Amino acid sequence: MSIRNDIERVLINEQQLHDRVITLGERIAQDYGGRPLLLVGVLKGAVPFLADLARAIDAPVEMDFMAVSSYGNSTHSQGYVRILKDLDDIVIDRDVLLVEDIIDTGLTLSYVLDLLRQRAPASLRVCALLDKQKVHAKHLHPDYTGFPVEDEFVVGYGLDYAQRYRNLPFIGVLKPEIYR
């Protein structure tokens, strides 16, 4: 049973993802001037992106992960954020780059940013693979963005629908009948 049959159209293909991640990694390495960097991934959606991005950054990189929940299994934000797993590492005085799969309402991001800011990192920036570019309630703009996307539900390369499709190597839009 191929999961590709559930896709109506491909938005961003593997080559485009690869090329963009390489560019982001080079820019990040340059911006931090070779300083050690802590990549903080928001589970689980950021995993494929973070894994590829880390390999595109030619500088000392550590990784840590946090799990939050804002969506449940629906395609609409439920308007609250819950911490399911906190970081293992201490963030104080470190250069932290928060890696997110997608910014939709910006609720998840602003919550996690507030939390990390309280822990006094040396610097705190955001790298989001996709940005739905809504007028975010809190005027959030990622320091690094992979691609702007329209306001439609997308899956693949970490992004799920009911926990599935994270393993698609591209970003696509599901056939409408899948939601029913």
Which does residue 106 touch among Mg ion, ligand IMP, none (CB within 5 to 8 A, set by kind)? ligand IMP
Report the 10 Å Cβ neighbour count for 177.
Answer: 8
* Helix 47-56 with 14-31: angle, nearest 10 deg: 60
**Contact of 155 with 171, CB cutoff 8 Å:** yes
Window 24-53: contact mask with ligand IMP (x via CB under 6 A): ---------------------x--------
Active site includes 104?
Answer: yes
Residues 6-35 that bind Mg ion (CB under 5 A): none
Q: Pick out residues in 67-86 that bind ligand IMP (CB under 6 A).
A: 70-71, 77
Length of the chain: 180
153 binds ligand IMP (CB under 6 A): yes
Q: Which is nearer to Mg ion, 95 or 160 (CB)?
A: 160
Q: Is 101 among the residues that bind ligand IMP (CB under 6 A)?
A: yes
Nearer to ligand IMP, 16 or 110 (CB): 110
Is 180 in contact with 58 (CB distance < 8 Å)? no
- Tell which residue, 52, 163, 57, 68, has the closest CA to residue 113: 68
120 or 162, CB closer to Mg ion?
162
User: Is 140:110 a contact under the CB 8 Å cutoff?
Assistant: yes
- DSSP assigned state of 64: E
Binding site for ligand IMP (CB under 6 A): 45, 70-71, 77, 100-109, 153-155, 159-160
